[in-house]
Amino acid sequence: MNKLTAFIVDFWSYALKGSPKYYAWLGFLSLFMLVGVYTTYRQLTEGMILTGATDEITWELYISNFIFTAHIAAAAILVVIPAFMYQHKGMKDLAVLGEIIALGFVSTGILFVVYHVGRPDRLWHMIPGLGYFNFPNSMLDFDVIVLNVYLIINLVAAYFLLYRRYVDRPVHGFFYRYLIWLAVLWGPLIHIITSAVLASNARMYSWASAVLPFAFLSMAGASGPAIIIIVFLIIRKYTKLQIDNTVIDLLSQIILWSLLVLSLVFAAEFFTVLYPSTHHAASLKFNMFGHNGLDMYVPWFWLIMAAIFGSFAALLFPKIRKSYDLYLPIICVIVFLAVLIEKPVILVFPAFSPSPLGEYTQYYPTFIEYANVLAVWAFGFMTLTVTLKGAVGILTGEVKYIEKAADTVEDAVPAK
Amino acid sequence: MSEDKKGMEAQELDDARREFLKHMGIAAGAVALASAPDAEAAVFQEWFQTHYELMSEQEKQEAIARLETRYSEEFGKKTTVSNAPALPGVLFGYALNIQKCIGCRTCVHACVEENNQSRYDPEIQWIKVLKMEKGNFSFSPDKLDKGYPESERLGDYGLQVGGNAYNSVGVSSETERYYEPETVPEDDSFYMPVQCHQCEKPPCVKVCPVRATFRDPSGVVVIDYNWCIGCRMCQLACPYEARRFNWGEPNLPKEEMNPKTHYYGNRPRMKGVMEKCTFCLQRTREGRNPACMEACPVGARKFGNLLDPQSEIRLILATKKVFRYKEEFNTYPKFFYFMD
């Protein structure tokens, strides 16, 4: 049996084996995916009419969640940058985990975009050569390119490193180093381009703003390390992989300063819009105070602002940053949820009110929509869990290429 | 030399693509034909067709024939799908007299009947008529010394904001389009219909990822309904809210279907694609007027060739008080509003 087959077999057989808790988690996720199979079928056959989207609010929960997954995917570079730029030893081994997190979330994001499109069967129209690519006019085309390239870079980088570790060969060679540098450059790019998709619409006053890319990057800097800290704390607790405290400290510092930048960006935007208070301020005012009794987003706005400023203030205290078992994970969950919920209730839905002809509308997601969103998330977390499990096995040396081990695996696989 | 080579390569690539799709199309067609009726086979073959503008003459004929067969079968009557080209030397323009408009919405319904929109769940309308109040006269003398900020040293009459500021002094510019009065026009209101402005610099065309929507030679922005992927970027870009999406399968009763159609115009759409006003392409490319214009009972709507100095629309532009809606978006609409 050759080495590559052995790698695939060993990697996946380790990844799919675990404690009852592990299986319970996977079972929990597949529950949502099973419901999702039915609701996806409904949406594919009956159309987008089953979602809450209308001609007034044409973007649904799918695209809101897509923007969030782009945040997390881009944040993977925050694990990679310190490892290579500052030669942080603890980070170097963990860089691959960052790549896998990026991989998981960028594929989740692409799936969300497919749910958003009204005719997913016609997506081949975008394949250059077969279809027609409106390049370089359409920002969506840039986004498609950037996301898919990022997916490929991370796929190659992560599995290349894991394979090299598996067969016990040096990993920090020429090819890998440049691939990592490319990933580091590409991470912010998926963000900047995604913000361009929004900011290019002159009629959307709350999106056509120069601070949007910076808001996105700082939100990525906050929410990405938040989930990475949670993942690392879980890995540290349940597996043999050692993750140094300094790694967690560095990540919580990144969250802290990202939240500061985010607060400044919000302050700059709010001031510029609210001081003259022209029609550019209408969406923000609707978000902050409601309009003629339509106030669905008002409590969310203040809650999320409080969460962002509050988390920043809390993280200023070293005692909270060092509380690995209690306060730090709580703050991380708050930051993660605040940025996740910010997407629909601040960024996307209120931006559509007033519409260009002056209508104010609230968005009511449907069951089908919620079920599909949860199914896509479940799919994302499922691939993430399984891939991370396999990667941990390789990093700790539990999964290793041994001639003998390969033989036993071959024996275990029934001959066809 | 190098350009020649480039051209050849593009040609080869194009041929290869065409060949590939043809094989797939034939295979798929064969499968479908063996078991299913014509209409279903047509839908299946339509899936493989390329952008209409990129088709060869023969492919265009096949596509048209396929659609005619499918529509005739689906709606139980002989349906024609024209592919008449844009008229040469013509740039279409539209002018609307807001002084005359009485808000009766006859144009809205004439448009729906002509252009085969979905009739229920939901009814899709391409024209929106905005109702505006003629003026709000709720000035209050009690508020003359009110306002913000209130300060004893500088007086209490609002140095920055006067007390009547938030009371919609004069015309409020608040619009409503769901009005249902017994008779129109209402005394206290005036009306402003909005539809696709057929911009010379259309933001919707720029953002389309697959060029399914584009500006035709006579200045009308059209959509290839078979090429649209339903991403709705165009709807997001349009500052006039002119585009409508088929969120579900459109409901077009057989007896209400208009069998005289055009490929880029009023042929029945499918679910998950965008649609919009085309100045009734199926009529105007034959020298007729748009349905909304013919239907208007007060003659508020004028249509014509902007390149013809003798046309009525040119006379209006030269002699009336004309304005364009949302000029600040720099879209150069060819839809004008005017007053006598």
**How far is B59 from B49, CA to CA, in rounded Å?**
8
CA of B17, closest CA in chain A: separation in Å?
A: 6
Tell me what the mean pLDDT of segment A12-24 comes to.
91
Lowest pLDDT segment from A3-12, A163-172, A259-268, A273-282? A163-172
Predicted pLDDT of residue B285: 94
If asked whether residues B241 and B333 sit together in one domain, one would say yes
Q: Which residues 32-91 of A are in CB contact (within 8 Å) with B?
A: 46-50, 53-55, 58-59
Among the partner-chain residues B227, B237, B240, the one whose CB lies closest to the CB of A125 is B227
Give the mean model confidence (pLDDT) for residues A81-88.
69
Q: Could you say which residues from 184 to 203 on chain B have a Cβ atom under 8 Å away from some Cβ of chain A?
A: 194, 203
- pLDDT of A180 above 90: no
Q: Name which of B117, B236, B243, B275 to mutate to probe chain A: the one with the most chain A Cβ atoms within 10 A of its Cβ.
A: B236
**Chosen from A44, A48, A347 to mutate, greatest number of chain B CBs within 10 A:** A48
B43 within some domain: yes
Residues B239 and B323 in one domain: yes
Task: Decide which of B20 and A285 is more confident.
Answer: A285
Mutation pick from A46, A49, A127 vs chain B, by most beta carbons of B within 10 Å, is: A49
Decide: A336 and A227 in contact? Cβ < 8 Å.
yes
With a cut of 50, say whether residue B308 has pLDDT above it: yes
- Structural domain including B71 reads 2-75
pLDDT tens across B53-104, in order?
999 999 999 999 999 999 999 999 999 999 999 999 999 999 999 999 999 9
Please indicate if any CB of chain A lies within 8 Å of the CB of B166. no
Per-residue pLDDT, A129: 83
Q: Which among A55, A141, A359 has CB closest to B244? A: A55
pLDDT at A130 over 90: no
User: Do B104 and B250 lie in a common domain?
Assistant: yes
Same domain for B60 and B207, yes or no, is no
pLDDT band at B306 (very low <50, low <70, confident <90, very high): very high
Give the gap in angstroms from C-alpha A350 to the nearest C-alpha of chain B: 14
Contact between chains at B248 and A116 (C-beta distance less than 8 A): no
Give the confidence band of B20 by pLDDT, cuts at 50, 70, 90.
low
Q: What is the pLDDT of residue B17?
A: 60
Asked whether the predicted pLDDT for residue B35 surpasses 80, the reply is no
What's the pLDDT score for residue B188? 85
Q: What is the pLDDT of residues A305-333, one digit of tens each?
A: 999 999 999 999 999 999 999 999 999 99
Query: Does residue B174 lie within any of the structural domains?
Result: no
Tokens 């999964």 sit on residue: A399
Is the per-residue pLDDT at A167 higher than 60? yes
- Which pLDDT belongs to residue A179? 86
In a 13 Å sphere around the CA of A161, the CA atoms on its Cβ side amount to 24
Listed as own residue / partner, the contacts of A144-147 with beta carbons closer than 8 Å and 24 or more positions apart are A144/B209, A146/A186, A146/A189, A146/A190, A146/A193, A147/A70, A147/A106, A147/A109, A147/A110, A147/A113, A147/A190
Structural domain includes residue B141: no
> What would the mean pLDDT of A147-151 be, rounded to a whole number?
94
CB B334 within 8 A of CB B278: no
Inter-chain touch B206–A131, beta carbons under 8 Å: no
Could you say which residues from 306 to 345 on chain A have a Cβ atom under 8 Å away from some Cβ of chain B?
A: none
Question: What integer is the mean pLDDT of A246-267?
Answer: 93
Residue B36 has pLDDT above 50, yes or no: no
Residues A169-180 have a mean pLDDT of 78
Residues B203 and B301 in one domain: yes
Q: Is A140 on the interface with B (CB under 8 A)?
A: yes
Reported as a pLDDT band with limits 50, 70 and 90, residue B3 is very low
Q: Stretch A76-85: mean pLDDT, rounded?
A: 73
Instruction: Give a yes or no: residue B140 inside a domain.
Output: no
Mutate to test the interface with A, among B22, B47, B210, B235 (most CBs of A within 10 A): B210
Are B211 and B103 members of one domain? yes
For chain B, the first-to-last Cα distance in angstroms comes to 60
> Do B276 and B227 share a structural domain?
yes
Q: pLDDT higher for A121 or B146?
A: A121
pLDDT of B128 over the 90 cut: yes
Q: Which residues of B touch A139 (CB under 8 A)?
A: 207
Q: Is the pLDDT of residue A283 over 60?
A: yes
The 3-state DSSP class for residue B214 equals strand
Mean pLDDT of chain B: 87
ipTM: 0.88
Chain A residues with CB-CB distance to B244 below 8 A: 55
Q: What is the mean pLDDT of residues B119-137?
A: 89
Residues B277 and B237 placed together within one structural domain of the fold: yes
pLDDT at A17 over 70: yes
The answer to whether residue B178 sits within a structural domain is no
pLDDT greater than 80 at residue A55:
yes
- Supply the pLDDT for residue A403: 66
* Contact between residue B228 and residue A125 where contact means Cβ atoms under 8 Å apart: no
Lowest mean pLDDT of B15-24, B57-66, B323-332, name the range: B15-24
Dihedral sign, Cα of residue A171, residue A176, residue A180, residue A183: negative
Whether B30 has a pLDDT exceeding 50, the answer reads no
In this prediction, residue A242 carries a pLDDT of 82
Average pLDDT, stretch A335-362?
A: 94
Distance of residue B200 Cα from the nearest chain A Cα, in angstroms: 16
The answer on B11 and B70 residing in a single domain is yes
- Closest chain A residue to the Cα of B247, Cα to Cα: A49
Confidence of residue B23 (pLDDT cuts 50, 70, 90): low
pLDDT over threshold 70, residue A252? yes
- Domain containing B226 — which CATH number? 3.30.70.20
Q: Would you call B260 helix, strand, or coil by DSSP?
A: strand
Return the amino acid letter for A151: L
pLDDT at B33: 44
Contact A243, A166 (CB under 8 A): no
Residues B137-193: pLDDT tens digits?
Answer: 777 888 877 788 777 676 666 677 887 777 666 555 678 889 999 998 898 888 999
Q: Which residues of B touch A117 (CB under 8 A)?
A: 229-231
Average pLDDT of chain A is 90
B101 and B234 co-located in one domain: yes
Question: Could you tell me if B208 lies within 8 Å of chain A, comparing CB atoms?
Answer: yes
Q: Are residues B280 and B331 in the same domain?
A: yes
Residue B186 within a domain: no
| Amino acid B202: pLDDT | 96
- Tokens standing for B190? 């005036």
Q: Helix, strand or coil for residue B167?
A: helix
- Please check whether residue A280 is in contact with residue A271, taking contact to mean a CB–CB distance below 8 angstroms: no
pLDDT tens-place string over residues B233-266: 999 999 999 999 999 999 999 999 999 999 999 9
**Residue after which a domain boundary falls, among B44, B75, B106:** B75
Residue B31 falls within a domain, yes or no?
Answer: yes
Is residue B70 located within the same domain as residue B201? no
Least confident of A332-341, A368-377, B130-139, B311-320: B130-139
pLDDT at A7 over 60: yes
Determine, yes or no, domain membership for B297. Answer: yes
Per the structure, the count of domains in chain B is 2
